A and B are shown apart, each in its own frame.
Chain A
Amino acid sequence: MRNGTDRLRAVNVPQPAVVELDAGGSPSKIEMRNCDVREPVTIEAVRETWRIDDEWWREPITRTYYEVLLKGGARLVLFVDLVKREWFVQRP
């Protein structure tokens, strides 16, 4: 979200990620692209999921969010863009 004079900058832009899924379709490993640590991290548990459908009147946005617990105890929120089939990390 930047305007023509480059004055307005978006905050909390989704960061692309590579996610592996388990047999049930839930995320099991994540690798963050814009991060110093490039190695995949195991997802220990999915604590919560929710779905957002928005802006159906112009360019539909459909996302499924996952709040996950990583190996080591860190908490993370990621989502899959169901239109483009791409994964992202984002603060809730």
Chain B
Amino acid sequence: MTVTPHLASDSAACCWIPLFALRSELARRPEIASLPVALVAPDTARPPRVWQVAPLARRAGVKPGMTVSQAIGLCPPLKLCEPDPVHYDEQFARLVAALVTVSPVVEPVELGRVFVGTDGLEGLYGSPEGIIEAIQMRSAECGMRNFSEGSFASPDSHLHSALRIPHSALRVGWGLGKFVSWVAATRAKPGEAVIVPVGGEAKFLASQRLAVLPLDPDTHRRLLQLGVKTLGALVALPEEAVVSQFGRAGRRLWRLAAGLVSEPVVGRVVPEPIVAALTFFTPVGERDLLAHALDKLVDRALGDPRRSGWRVQVVRVHAELEHGASWLVEATLKDPSATREHIAAPLKTQLERSPPAGAVERLVVEFTAFAPGTAELQLFARDAGAAARAGRRRALQSAAREIALRIRRPMLYHVIEVQPWSRLPERRYALIDYEP
């Protein structure tokens, strides 16, 4: 992959929404927000395990990674939800798309965590506080709310706090490089931001716990055994001593802790408009033929290698008519798509409602705006197999909705293993409602 220098930024804002998948689920189903809720892990591990846990369930002792049976044992009224990774990816793509309107340099790293490059934005928004305010305002449109509306601290409760957006779940950290901004985001309260001034990185990092470093459990344990509990304590050790104990990884950890490593945010190049055109041998006036030609052109544009990893958000069709006239329609897709049917549907509707005033000599399809592709985010849909599973899930959801509509009571269940090792057959499996 080619990295374009102008799409890198040393100063970074880390935008973090913890428990993003769970919040997406609760935003979609507010009626369960007051219940102890947990998401079942999206993988196919056996026995099934709990993935993300709402505060009410956490208070009852439910923790991520527990088996479903352990969780239900601790919290009998636990509301278990089947995960919908494709929906979470779509919601995250919306957040990323909102942030792209603030800065062209955006680097999503995992579901709910994205870095925004802020170099050069001072001219638009002023100080880092202004940049963060723009980020918070844009991301607020995505509707990720905090679990408890009354849980906000007073505005002056944190030394570096910049702004507060009531009810927002977004935490923002600003600093030089991705690591500093990430640590700052972990220190921010929901709806608030923590700013680390340039030059103050070492001081800020010194008091942070060791767990903010990208450590493997063994290294973490060894450092704790050596009495190193904060980054300041780590930096107090001679760098060479840390290297002799932990090798190359030790050097990187020491330098991260000292604030000497500043990894830039690297954005991706948004494709230039993709154009596919067709010149007819003889001018065409039949709508069926034009609709067919539209399908073919959309297919051809989708097949352009520059489109890979991006979904189409805005599509435009331009027709050159007989006698020099022209015809133009444009559609903005509410849900960006990479499938021909979704992209061509609004164009065909326009073709029916307001067809060209004459026969078409040349037809041009142009993709002019893009949103990051679900697969490109590489969060869940990492490969063709995952994409196929997502497709099957969609089909299943559609069928389930149809059944629920006709029967009007829950009739679909998902079988989960509860205590597959139990000698009592009725303890081994259970059914949970399948809700599309």
Contacts and interface: CB of A to CB of B under 8 A. Distances in A.
Given A52-B423, A54-B423, A11 B77 contact: no
Contacts of B426: 1, 10-14, 90
A11 B415 contact: yes
A3 B429 contact: no
A7 interface: yes
A34 interface: no
A4 interface: yes
B383 interface: no
A59 to B, nearest CB: 12
Interface hub of B78, B415, B422, B425 (most chain A Cβ within 10 A): B425
A54 B430 CA distance: 19
B76 interface: yes
Given A3-B76, A4-B77, A5-B79, A11 B429 contact: yes
B287 to A, nearest CB: 51
B137 interface: no
A74 interface: no
A61 B424 contact: yes
Interface string B400-436: 0000000000000101001000111111111111000
Contacts of B399: none
A8 B77 contact: no
A8 B429 contact: no
B431 A90 contact: no
A13 B433 CA distance: 17
B386 interface: no
A3 B415 contact: no
B432 A92 contact: no
B109 interface: no
A85 interface: no
Contacts of A10: 426, 430-431
Contacts of B78: 3
Interface string B127-144: 000000000000000000
B244 to A, nearest CB: 52
Interface in A1-56: 1, 3-5, 7-14, 52, 54
A91 interface: yes
A1 B427 contact: yes
A24 to B, nearest CB: 26
Contacts of B413: 9
A4 B80 CA distance: 12
Contacts of A13: 426
Nearest to A63: B424
Given A1-B430, A3-B72, A8 B80 contact: yes
Nearest to A79: B425
Contacts of A3: 72, 76-78
B431 A9 contact: yes
Contacts of B429: 11-12
B342 to A, nearest CB: 34
A5 B35 contact: yes
A52 B424 contact: yes
B423 A11 contact: no
Contacts of B72: 3, 8
A60 B418 CA distance: 20
B424 A7 contact: no
A52 B427 CA distance: 13
B428 to A, nearest CB: 7
B36 to A, nearest CB: 9
Given A61-B424, A91-B425, A9 B430 contact: yes
Contacts of A7: 79-80, 432-433
A52 B77 CA distance: 29
Given A54-B424, A61-B424, A91-B425, A11 B430 contact: yes
Interface of B: 35, 72, 76-80, 413, 415, 418, 422-433
Q: Which 6 A-B pairs have the closest CB atoms?
A: A4-B77, A9-B431, A11-B429, A3-B76, A12-B425, A8-B430
Given A7-B80, A8-B431, 4 more contacts: A3-B78, A5-B77, A11-B428, A12-B428
Interface of A: 1, 3-5, 7-14, 52, 54, 61, 90-92
8 contacts: A8-B431, A9-B432, A10-B430, A11-B415, A12-B426, A54-B422, A90-B426, A92-B425
